[in-house]
């Protein structure tokens, strides 16, 4: 399960938080992603379920954007334009205690900026909090993985179960593996939280080397 946390502050530094979840209620090979977004202000949750062909190349932001777009398209209730009083916005994606993605944006007069620079003008259309989060996740980011060729890490065997460890990857590649492999199944190896199947590790490195 992925947990979404959207934090908005106004120019007086007063903040609100909206939470959401994305669960795979299908299978690894045929994911069906159930999304639930808190709307706040006494309004009900916005929910949706969408099918998504599994592709290793999809990043966490791409998965979340797909789920947000599907959910928001089915929600017809009116939304206030958060930019009218926005100071800053942060969207973070968590898997358990691990933060997979965290992006921050802020308003300068009528324009938006973030770590990657100025945004294209959004025009006069109203932008809700979750719509803003979706736009933040769609912003281009520099790849986190290293360009040098990385060999397959050691393959361990425990209880006749082969596995690799994400901890054996270079630091930048570790973060990128978690970002790309959040929906991948992991072998159950006692005492090894970062165990992954060797064939998944090999496929990851083949894509990124």
pLDDT tens track of the chain, all 209 residues? 899 999 988 777 788 899 999 988 887 677 788 999 988 766 678 888 888 765 556 788 888 999 999 898 877 666 667 777 888 889 999 988 888 888 888 877 777 888 778 888 887 777 888 999 999 999 876 544 444 467 888 888 887 778 889 999 988 788 888 777 666 778 888 889 889 888 788 778 877 66
**What are the tokens at 25?**
């209620």
In DSSP terms, 37 is beta-bridged to 20, 46
The dihedrals phi and psi of 43, each to the nearest 5 degrees, come to: -85, 155
Any idea how long the chain is?
209
- Distance, CA of 208 to chain centre: 19
Q: Which residues contact 1 (CB under 8 A, 6 or more apart)?
A: 21, 22, 23, 24, 95
Radius of gyration of the chain, Cα coordinates, nearest whole angstrom: 19
User: What is the pLDDT at residue 209?
Assistant: 62
User: What is the pLDDT at residue 34?
Assistant: 92
User: What is the pLDDT at residue 144?
Assistant: 44
């Amino acid at each position: 399960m992925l947990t979404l946390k959207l934090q908005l502050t106004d120019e007086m530094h007063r903040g609100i938080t909206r939470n959401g979840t994305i669960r795979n209620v299908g299978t690894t090979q045929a994911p069906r992603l159930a999304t639930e977004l808190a709307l706040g202000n006494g309004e009900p949750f916005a929910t949706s379920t969408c099918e998504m062909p599994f592709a290793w190349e999809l990043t966490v932001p791409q998965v979340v954007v797909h789920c947000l777009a599907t959910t928001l398209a089915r929600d017809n209730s009116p939304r206030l334009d958060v930019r009218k009083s926005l100071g800053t916005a942060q969207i973070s994606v968590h898997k358990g205690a691990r933060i997979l993605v965290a992006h921050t944006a802020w308003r300068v007069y009528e324009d938006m900026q973030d770590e990657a620079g100025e945004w294209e003008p959004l025009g006069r259309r109203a932008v809700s909090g979750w719509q803003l989060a979706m736009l933040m996740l769609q912003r281009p980011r520099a790849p986190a993985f290293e360009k040098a060729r990385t060999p397959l890490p050691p393959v361990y065997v425990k209880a006749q179960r082969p596995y690799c460890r994400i901890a054996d990857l270079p630091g930048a590649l570790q973060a990128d593996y978690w970002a790309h492999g959040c929906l991948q199944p992991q072998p159950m190896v006692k005492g090894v939280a970062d165990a992954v199947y060797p064939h998944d590790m090999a496929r990851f490195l083949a894509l990124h080397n």
